[in-house]
Amino acid sequence: MKPEWLDAFELDSEAGPASPLATDEAKALASKIVDRALPTAGTGLALRSSRSLFAIAGVGGALAVLGLAYSVRSSECVDGTCAGPTIAAAPASSIIATPEQPAIDSAPTAPATIDSVSVDALPNAVAPSPSTAPAPAKVSDPSARPRETASDLLAEANRARGQREWARAAALYERVMGSQVDESYAATVALASLRLEHLGDPRGALALYERALSSRPGGALSVQAQAGAARCRRVLGEEKHSEP
């Protein structure tokens, strides 16, 4: 069982920390505890000496309760809720701000379009000077030369005949005959006369005369062609009669 004198240590019947005591109340409580702990005057010396130790212990416990009550009094209680020790808020300067991470765009970046640039548009590109550019090689193209006409060839053949260049004149007449133009008729009669008179070929001359007469019987040179053909036959006949 609880000793009767411990009732003095009960501060109140409320839950939570005890209400604070005034200084006079604390002294009265301590005096009451001591009076209850000490024996009365009629008690024997033996009992007094045995209880003296309990008295001292009771006084010490009372002092401890007073200290606890004083510490509880020092705390602030508002509406039945006692606040503990106040913790000072840390200054704003001591809080280290965490740098925000930049948002990463998950959308794929479109590749940059590279515009094509001409080499001629570059500032360092130096165009070759027209004077230093190599000249194209000259290729002899027969078609690029002016073509000689049949009239030119016929006139050149007549000049060669006048210069007594019989072979060259005959070659030019043959070229005119191959062109199949109006000048070929005159070149045929002229070549027949050249073979009969200067090249010693009456048979070849007769063939050319007959060719001219057959192509143009009433031509401008038909009389000359007929006379030349007769001469060729006479030469050929004489040669035939002279054979043994």
Q: What pLDDT sits at residue 240?
A: 64
Answer whether residue 90 shows pLDDT above 80: no
Domain boundary among 42, 60, 80: 80
Q: What pLDDT sits at residue 134?
A: 54
Domain, as residue range, for 51: 4-80
**pLDDT classification of 78: cutoffs 50, 70, 90:** very low
Q: What pLDDT sits at residue 140?
A: 45
Q: What pLDDT sits at residue 22?
A: 63
Answer whether residue 144 shows pLDDT above 60: no
The CATH number of the domain holding residue 170 is 1.25.40.10
**pLDDT classification of 132: cutoffs 50, 70, 90:** low
Over residues 168-174, mean pLDDT:
95
Over residues 126-135, mean pLDDT:
53
Residue with tokens 């060669």: 160
CA 114, distance to chain mean position in Å, is 5
Q: What pLDDT sits at residue 27?
A: 72
How high is the mean pLDDT of the chain?
A: 69
> What is the C-alpha end-to-end distance of the chain, expressed in Å?
197
Answer whether residue 174 shows pLDDT above 90: yes
Q: Quote the number of domains for the chain.
A: 2
Has residue 134 been placed in a domain? no
Instruction: Decide if 187 contacts 176 (C-beta within 8 A).
Output: yes
Between 222 and 4, the more confident residue is 222
Nearest-angstrom CA–CA distance, 14 and 72: 14
Instruction: Decide if 5 contacts 58 (C-beta within 8 A).
Output: yes
Angle at 104 between CA 101 and CA 109, to 5 degrees: 155
Domain boundary among 80, 101, 121: 80
Instruction: Phi first, then psi: give them for residue 147, nearest 5 degrees.
Output: -80, 135
pLDDT tens profile 23-73 = 777 677 777 766 665 554 444 444 455 555 565 666 666 666 566 655 545
Helix, strand, or coil (residue 146): coil
Residue with tokens 């006084």: 59
Tell whether pTM > 0.85. Answer: no
Domain boundary among 80, 97, 117: 80
* Same domain assignment for residues 75 and 155: no
* Same domain assignment for residues 76 and 158: no
